[in-house]
A and B are shown apart, each in its own frame.
Chain A
Amino acid sequence: NAGVTQTPKFQVLKTGQSMTLQCAQDMNHEYMSWYRQDPGMGLRLIHYSVGAGITDQGEVPNGYNVSRSTTEDFPLRLLSAAPSQTSVYFCASNKHYNSPLHFGNGTRLTVT
């Protein structure tokens, strides 16, 4: 059982470049989320999904797009990277509302 798998583990982008962070889970969880973690800020919710085809914004959605075409996958897209998006990104899934989150090991992104 792989749990939540994030790729890549590390990425360096130049300002203005685009990329997609991948997230996949094999637990058949309905709910998936993306967070970013900056030093001293804890985790901040970017976007979340309550099922295939349904997404909504979190605390800090600007500059990021998501889609959820399958239960398993929840990619996060940066359309035009900015240095302010340098952070560690975590994907999480949970079975239903009010159940514990299962986290991936994160993607460390640097934008120069």
Chain B
Amino acid sequence: SQQGEEDPQALSIQEGENATMNCSYKTSINNLQWYRQNSGRGLVHLILIRSNEREKHSGRLRVTLDTSKKSSSLLITASRAADTASYFCATDADTGGFKTIFGAGTRLFVKA
């Protein structure tokens, strides 16, 4: 079973609006990562947040982590058409081994 579950599965917004995607996970983690995938391409790392951090920013991206609720959110502010992509959360599934487990992703469509 997958460690991370994104919500919503798909999101359609107008350019300039904010986009919020959520991720829930099942077991304790050391870190949580967000990745972006353009159609037909490999994934690109966006941001990593450690379990002792609550919020992290990178440009127009803001990630929050709530370990008590086992959830994270990715906010993209002032969306652009070029932000159209699939976004995935991934966790290290703290089992003592090296495994990075991905959720099913959120497909974001930003209309120009």
- Residues of chain A whose beta carbon lies under 8 Å from any beta carbon of chain B: 4, 31, 33, 35, 40-45, 48, 50, 56, 58-59, 90, 92, 97-106
Do B104 and A101 have beta carbons less than 8 Å apart?
no
Q: Is B45 an interface residue (CB 8 A)?
A: yes
Give the size of the chain B interface in residues (CB under 8 angstroms).
26
Do B101 and A50 have beta carbons less than 8 Å apart?
no
Q: Which residue of B lies closest to A106 (CB)?
A: B42
Chain A residues with Cβ below 8 Å from B33 are 100-101
Question: Count of A-B contacts with CB under 8 A?
Answer: 62
Task: Provide 24 A-B residue pairs closer than 8 Å at the C-beta atoms, listed in order of the A residue.
Answer: A31-B98, A33-B100, A35-B102, A41-B2, A41-B104, A42-B4, A42-B88, A42-B102, A42-B103, A43-B102, A45-B99, A58-B99, A59-B101, A90-B43, A92-B42, A97-B98, A100-B33, A101-B43, A101-B90, A101-B100, A103-B44, A104-B42, A105-B41, A106-B42
Known: A33-B100, A45-B100, A45-B101. A103 touches B2 (CB 8 A): no
Which among A40, A42, A90, A98 is the interface contact of B92 at CB below 8 angstroms?
A98
Chain A residues with Cβ below 8 Å from B41 are 105-106
